[in-house]
Amino acid sequence: MALEIDGADWHYLPMSTYISVMKKIEDYARSHGVSTSTVCRNATGNARLMVRMQRRIGQLDTDVARLEAYMAGNEATSLEYPTVEKDRSAGV
């Protein structure tokens, strides 16, 4: 799939594809009597890959909910970039 953001095409897989792959990893590990960490390590060299994918999906859910709540409560015309005041009194 492709998604256009700011004039650039972003190619991505639907979330359901990632979840489906994780289920396949779990099924494979169960049927072969090994852990998902072993499957990931043998396939990619990264034993923590499954945990990281699960964490990323969980964080994405959290981030999407926060973004939707923010956008629902703020009109686009009132948005401004935050400014950072620098304390220049300490000298350079």
First-to-last C-alpha distance (Å) of the chain:
50
With 0-12 / 13-18 / 19 or more C-beta atoms within 10 angstroms meaning exposed / middle / buried, residue 57 is middle
Q: Where are the domains of the chain?
A: 17-74
Model confidence, pTM: 0.64
Q: Output 4 or 57, whichever has higher pLDDT.
A: 57
| Distance, CA of 41 to CA of 46 (rounded, Å) | 5
Can you tell me whether residue 9 is helix, strand or coil?
strand
pLDDT of 78 > 60? The answer is no
Strands (E) in the chain, as ranges, are 2-5, 8-11
pLDDT value at position 86?
66
pLDDT value at position 83?
66
